[in-house]
Amino acid sequence: NAGHSHIDDVGDPEVGEMLAAGFTSSADENLLDSARTMIICVPTPLSDEGGPDLTAVKGAATTIARHLHTGDLVILESTTYPGTTDEVLRPLLEQGSGLVAGVDFHLAFSPERIDPGNPHYGVANTPKIVGGLTPGCAQAAAALYGKFVDQVVQAKGTREAEMAKLLENTYRHVNIALVNEMAVFCHELGIDLWDAIDCAATKPFGFQAFRPGPGVGGHCIPIDPNYLSYKVRSLGYPFRFVELAQEINDRMPRYIVERAQQLLNTHGQALKNAHILLLGVTYKADIADQRET
């Protein structure tokens, strides 16, 4: 409200424009009585059991339910496992309001799609996926996002939209693990993997370049695939690709330390009491997010 942004991708001038247009932020839940659309964007960290901690989602749903009216639209954007919108959010909204989702109010899921620090793609020009509890719910959500997003893609339902987000991040998670494991044995074989990747990336089809690093940082890639693994395990078997990728990426920090120790040894120095300079502490250049790094 003072015109200052704490978010990397939103600058103070943009906040100023929003305030001039009538935007205000508030912690007063009674303002929800005058809102027609409620979008839930809350953290979904991993629980001690390895599944998503939906405490914040449930809290938001309980709050919204107290102020839900006929014709309102509720959208969940927080990343979670397939089925959350219908199995967790919907009952809380219905029980707290006495209204029926898909009949009295609209309910949808639309995954967040933000690439922090990307100067080319933002909210407006990144296609927005929308999955509604009913076709009417999907149309209502698509109409909302269509006001400020260039392309809205309607999924078959909420579960498909939830799965799309996890599929995107699992794809990256598995491919990062692939090159991380390659980095280990390419070092032993005397192969410059980065040069091999650059060469492979000249192929104009069928290949996307992923590059190794000291693990995986940020909230999405190291966390989100575990939601899917959690859901699959409820069926009685493991999601082996995800769990193997997690194992490979989790051991990369130790590998980096071992490589540093080897380099010090070649100069006759011990790791103990050595001065180590870390460059690029965040998981991505020019952003402030240090989560999981």
Measured from the Cβ of residue 142, the count of other Cβ atoms closer than 10 Å reads 19
Give pLDDT tens digits for 168-202.
999 999 999 999 999 999 999 999 999 999 999 99
pLDDT of residue 8 exceeding 90:
no
What pLDDT, on a 0 to 100 scale, did the predictor assign at position 35? 94
Instruction: Please tell me whether residues 132 and 179 are part of one structural domain.
Output: no
> Is 291 inside a domain boundary?
no
Instruction: Please tell me whether residues 16 and 100 are part of one structural domain.
Output: yes
220 an active-site residue?
A: yes
Instruction: Please tell me whether residues 151 and 16 are part of one structural domain.
Output: yes
Least confident piece of the model among 64-68, 122-126, 132-136: 122-126
- Residue tagged active-site, from 41, 137, 199, 220: 220
pLDDT of residue 51 exceeding 80:
no
> Is 184 inside a domain boundary?
yes
Range of the structural domain that residue 107 is part of: 12-155
> Is 281 inside a domain boundary?
no
Q: Which of 155, 173, 197 is the last residue of a domain?
A: 155
Give pLDDT tens digits for 193-231.
999 999 999 999 999 999 999 888 887 888 888 888 888
- CATH number, domain with residue 211: 3.40.50.720
Give pLDDT tens digits for 243-290.
999 999 999 999 999 999 999 999 999 999 999 898 888 888 888 888
